[in-house]
Structure 1
Amino acid sequence: MKLHADRLEGVNAVFGHGPGEISVNNTVFRHSVIVPWKGDIVAWDADTFEALTPAHFQRIADLKPELVIFGSGPRIRFPAPSLLRPLIERGVGLETMDTGAACRTYNVLAAEGRSVVLAALLPSTTPPGP
Protein backbone atom coordinates (compact mmCIF):
# COMPACT_ATOMS: atom_id res chain seq x y z
CA MET A 1 0.00 0.00 0.00
CA LYS A 2 1.33 3.40 -0.95
CA LEU A 3 1.12 6.09 1.71
CA HIS A 4 1.35 9.83 1.26
CA ALA A 5 2.90 11.29 4.35
CA ASP A 6 2.96 14.95 5.26
CA ARG A 7 6.59 15.43 6.15
CA LEU A 8 8.25 17.78 8.54
CA GLU A 9 11.80 18.69 7.60
CA GLY A 10 14.23 16.05 8.85
CA VAL A 11 11.49 13.66 10.02
CA ASN A 12 11.41 10.09 8.68
CA ALA A 13 8.26 8.99 6.87
CA VAL A 14 6.90 5.69 5.62
CA PHE A 15 5.96 5.98 1.95
CA GLY A 16 4.56 2.50 1.48
CA HIS A 17 4.42 -1.06 2.70
CA GLY A 18 3.53 -4.45 1.34
CA PRO A 19 4.15 -8.12 2.03
CA GLY A 20 7.71 -8.36 3.30
CA GLU A 21 8.75 -4.77 2.62
CA ILE A 22 8.51 -1.20 3.80
CA SER A 23 9.55 2.03 2.06
CA VAL A 24 10.94 4.75 4.31
CA ASN A 25 12.08 8.04 2.79
CA ASN A 26 11.85 6.28 -0.60
CA THR A 27 14.27 3.50 0.40
CA VAL A 28 12.82 -0.01 0.36
CA PHE A 29 13.69 -2.37 3.21
CA ARG A 30 12.94 -6.10 3.07
CA HIS A 31 13.73 -6.89 6.70
CA SER A 32 12.56 -5.73 10.10
CA VAL A 33 13.46 -2.10 10.81
CA ILE A 34 13.54 0.51 13.53
CA VAL A 35 12.37 3.89 12.23
CA PRO A 36 12.94 6.76 14.67
CA TRP A 37 11.18 10.07 14.09
CA LYS A 38 14.60 11.55 13.30
CA GLY A 39 17.92 9.94 12.50
CA ASP A 40 18.98 6.76 10.78
CA ILE A 41 16.65 3.92 9.92
CA VAL A 42 18.34 0.74 11.12
CA ALA A 43 17.94 -2.97 10.57
CA TRP A 44 16.25 -4.67 13.50
CA ASP A 45 17.58 -8.19 14.03
CA ALA A 46 14.12 -9.44 15.03
CA ASP A 47 13.34 -11.87 12.24
CA THR A 48 10.20 -13.33 13.80
CA PHE A 49 7.82 -12.54 16.61
CA GLU A 50 8.96 -15.67 18.44
CA ALA A 51 12.60 -14.49 18.35
CA LEU A 52 11.92 -11.24 20.27
CA THR A 53 13.92 -10.68 23.46
CA PRO A 54 14.21 -7.80 25.93
CA ALA A 55 17.40 -6.77 24.08
CA HIS A 56 15.33 -5.98 20.98
CA PHE A 57 13.26 -3.52 22.98
CA GLN A 58 16.31 -2.16 24.83
CA ARG A 59 17.67 -1.02 21.48
CA ILE A 60 14.48 0.97 20.96
CA ALA A 61 14.42 2.33 24.52
CA ASP A 62 17.94 3.67 24.00
CA LEU A 63 16.51 6.04 21.35
CA LYS A 64 14.49 7.73 24.14
CA PRO A 65 11.14 8.01 22.35
CA GLU A 66 7.95 9.04 24.10
CA LEU A 67 6.05 6.32 22.23
CA VAL A 68 6.81 3.14 20.28
CA ILE A 69 4.52 1.85 17.55
CA PHE A 70 5.17 -1.88 17.25
CA GLY A 71 4.15 -3.46 13.95
CA SER A 72 3.87 -7.14 14.84
CA GLY A 73 3.59 -8.42 11.26
CA PRO A 74 0.50 -9.19 9.17
CA ARG A 75 -1.63 -9.72 12.29
CA ILE A 76 -1.67 -8.25 15.78
CA ARG A 77 0.45 -10.14 18.29
CA PHE A 78 1.15 -8.69 21.71
CA PRO A 79 4.64 -9.13 23.22
CA ALA A 80 4.87 -10.41 26.78
CA PRO A 81 5.43 -7.71 29.43
CA SER A 82 8.77 -9.32 30.32
CA LEU A 83 10.03 -8.43 26.82
CA LEU A 84 8.95 -4.83 27.26
CA ARG A 85 10.78 -4.24 30.55
CA PRO A 86 13.34 -1.83 28.98
CA LEU A 87 10.48 0.39 27.77
CA ILE A 88 8.45 0.06 30.97
CA GLU A 89 11.43 1.05 33.12
CA ARG A 90 11.84 4.27 31.11
CA GLY A 91 8.13 5.08 31.06
CA VAL A 92 7.92 4.71 27.28
CA GLY A 93 4.47 3.91 25.88
CA LEU A 94 3.97 1.10 23.39
CA GLU A 95 1.09 0.50 20.99
CA THR A 96 0.88 -2.80 19.13
CA MET A 97 -0.85 -3.22 15.78
CA ASP A 98 -0.37 -5.04 12.51
CA THR A 99 2.53 -3.59 10.52
CA GLY A 100 0.31 -1.81 7.97
CA ALA A 101 -1.65 0.03 10.65
CA ALA A 102 1.61 0.73 12.52
CA CYS A 103 3.08 2.43 9.43
CA ARG A 104 0.04 4.68 9.04
CA THR A 105 -0.09 5.54 12.75
CA TYR A 106 3.64 6.27 12.85
CA ASN A 107 3.28 8.74 9.96
CA VAL A 108 0.49 10.65 11.70
CA LEU A 109 2.42 10.93 14.96
CA ALA A 110 5.74 11.82 13.28
CA ALA A 111 4.00 14.50 11.20
CA GLU A 112 2.72 15.98 14.46
CA GLY A 113 6.33 16.30 15.62
CA ARG A 114 6.07 13.55 18.25
CA SER A 115 9.17 11.60 19.31
CA VAL A 116 7.89 8.26 18.06
CA VAL A 117 9.66 5.11 16.90
CA LEU A 118 8.24 2.53 14.51
CA ALA A 119 9.49 -0.99 15.21
CA ALA A 120 8.28 -3.02 12.22
CA LEU A 121 8.56 -6.79 12.04
CA LEU A 122 8.95 -8.03 8.48
CA PRO A 123 9.79 -11.57 7.44
CA SER A 124 13.43 -11.75 6.41
CA THR A 125 13.78 -12.47 2.73
CA THR A 126 17.18 -10.84 2.25
CA PRO A 127 20.11 -10.02 4.55
CA PRO A 128 19.82 -6.77 6.55
CA GLY A 129 20.86 -3.58 4.80
CA PRO A 130 19.09 -0.73 3.00
Structure 2
Amino acid sequence: MNKIVNILLHVDEEEKWTMICNNAENLLKMGEIGNYTVNIEIVANGTAVKSLAVGAINVLGLRESLKELNDKGVYVYCCSNSLNTLNIDPALLFSFVKPVPSGIFHIALRHNDGFAYIKP
Protein backbone atom coordinates (compact mmCIF):
# COMPACT_ATOMS: atom_id res chain seq x y z
CA MET A 1 0.00 0.00 0.00
CA ASN A 2 1.42 3.35 -1.05
CA LYS A 3 1.28 6.03 1.65
CA ILE A 4 0.85 9.71 0.87
CA VAL A 5 2.73 12.58 2.51
CA ASN A 6 1.85 16.20 1.71
CA ILE A 7 4.58 18.73 2.51
CA LEU A 8 4.74 22.49 2.17
CA LEU A 9 8.17 24.11 2.15
CA HIS A 10 8.09 27.81 2.98
CA VAL A 11 10.87 30.18 1.92
CA ASP A 12 10.91 33.90 2.63
CA GLU A 13 14.65 34.68 2.37
CA GLU A 14 16.73 34.56 -0.82
CA GLU A 15 19.65 32.85 0.89
CA LYS A 16 17.47 29.85 1.85
CA TRP A 17 16.82 28.64 -1.72
CA THR A 18 19.67 26.11 -1.81
CA MET A 19 18.45 24.58 1.43
CA ILE A 20 14.86 24.46 0.18
CA CYS A 21 15.88 22.70 -3.04
CA ASN A 22 18.06 20.22 -1.13
CA ASN A 23 15.22 19.54 1.30
CA ALA A 24 12.80 18.87 -1.55
CA GLU A 25 15.25 16.49 -3.26
CA ASN A 26 15.86 14.62 0.00
CA LEU A 27 12.14 14.35 0.71
CA LEU A 28 11.53 12.89 -2.75
CA LYS A 29 14.34 10.35 -2.21
CA MET A 30 12.95 9.34 1.17
CA GLY A 31 9.56 8.85 -0.43
CA GLU A 32 11.07 6.48 -2.98
CA ILE A 33 12.91 4.52 -0.30
CA GLY A 34 9.83 4.20 1.91
CA ASN A 35 7.31 3.67 -0.88
CA TYR A 36 5.57 6.96 -0.18
CA THR A 37 3.91 9.31 -2.60
CA VAL A 38 5.40 12.66 -1.61
CA ASN A 39 3.51 15.75 -2.73
CA ILE A 40 5.59 18.87 -2.27
CA GLU A 41 4.67 22.51 -2.68
CA ILE A 42 7.18 25.32 -2.28
CA VAL A 43 5.72 28.69 -1.33
CA ALA A 44 7.89 31.80 -1.65
CA ASN A 45 7.11 35.17 -0.17
CA GLY A 46 9.09 38.11 1.18
CA THR A 47 12.48 38.72 -0.42
CA ALA A 48 12.66 35.11 -1.66
CA VAL A 49 10.42 36.03 -4.59
CA LYS A 50 13.27 38.13 -6.05
CA SER A 51 15.02 34.91 -7.09
CA LEU A 52 12.06 33.64 -9.13
CA ALA A 53 12.16 36.27 -11.85
CA VAL A 54 14.16 36.31 -15.05
CA GLY A 55 17.17 38.55 -14.50
CA ALA A 56 17.68 37.65 -10.83
CA ILE A 57 21.33 37.53 -9.76
CA ASN A 58 21.36 33.80 -8.98
CA VAL A 59 18.86 32.93 -11.69
CA LEU A 60 20.88 30.24 -13.50
CA GLY A 61 21.49 27.73 -10.71
CA LEU A 62 18.18 28.21 -8.96
CA ARG A 63 16.12 28.12 -12.14
CA GLU A 64 17.70 24.79 -13.11
CA SER A 65 17.19 23.29 -9.66
CA LEU A 66 13.57 24.39 -9.42
CA LYS A 67 12.83 23.27 -12.98
CA GLU A 68 14.20 19.79 -12.18
CA LEU A 69 12.05 19.66 -9.05
CA ASN A 70 9.02 20.85 -10.99
CA ASP A 71 9.63 18.12 -13.56
CA LYS A 72 9.47 15.64 -10.65
CA GLY A 73 6.07 16.99 -9.59
CA VAL A 74 7.05 19.71 -7.10
CA TYR A 75 4.88 22.82 -7.40
CA VAL A 76 6.40 26.26 -6.89
CA TYR A 77 4.13 29.12 -5.81
CA CYS A 78 4.96 32.80 -5.45
CA CYS A 79 3.18 35.44 -3.37
CA SER A 80 1.66 38.19 -5.51
CA ASN A 81 1.63 40.57 -2.53
CA SER A 82 5.41 40.21 -2.24
CA LEU A 83 5.83 40.74 -5.98
CA ASN A 84 3.81 43.95 -5.74
CA THR A 85 5.70 45.18 -2.69
CA LEU A 86 9.04 44.59 -4.43
CA ASN A 87 7.82 46.00 -7.77
CA ILE A 88 8.45 42.75 -9.66
CA ASP A 89 6.41 42.13 -12.78
CA PRO A 90 4.69 38.71 -12.50
CA ALA A 91 5.30 38.26 -16.24
CA LEU A 92 9.01 37.86 -15.42
CA LEU A 93 8.45 34.77 -13.24
CA PHE A 94 9.89 31.49 -14.45
CA SER A 95 7.24 29.75 -16.55
CA PHE A 96 6.69 26.95 -14.00
CA VAL A 97 6.15 29.31 -11.03
CA LYS A 98 2.51 29.89 -10.18
CA PRO A 99 1.57 33.19 -8.52
CA VAL A 100 -0.97 33.07 -5.69
CA PRO A 101 -2.71 36.16 -4.30
CA SER A 102 -1.20 35.71 -0.83
CA GLY A 103 1.59 33.32 0.10
CA ILE A 104 0.61 33.27 3.77
CA PHE A 105 -3.02 32.55 2.93
CA HIS A 106 -1.92 29.73 0.60
CA ILE A 107 0.11 28.28 3.46
CA ALA A 108 -2.91 28.48 5.76
CA LEU A 109 -5.09 26.72 3.18
CA ARG A 110 -2.56 23.91 2.75
CA HIS A 111 -2.21 23.56 6.50
CA ASN A 112 -5.97 23.17 6.66
CA ASP A 113 -5.67 20.48 3.95
CA GLY A 114 -3.26 18.51 6.15
CA PHE A 115 0.07 19.53 4.61
CA ALA A 116 3.09 19.35 6.91
CA TYR A 117 4.68 22.80 7.20
CA ILE A 118 8.47 23.06 7.00
CA LYS A 119 10.45 26.27 7.06
CA PRO A 120 14.22 25.85 7.21
Q: TM-score, normalised by structure 1?
A: 0.37
Which entry has the higher C-alpha Rg, 1 or 2? Answer: 2
Q: TM-score, normalised by structure 2?
A: 0.39
Greater helix proportion = 2
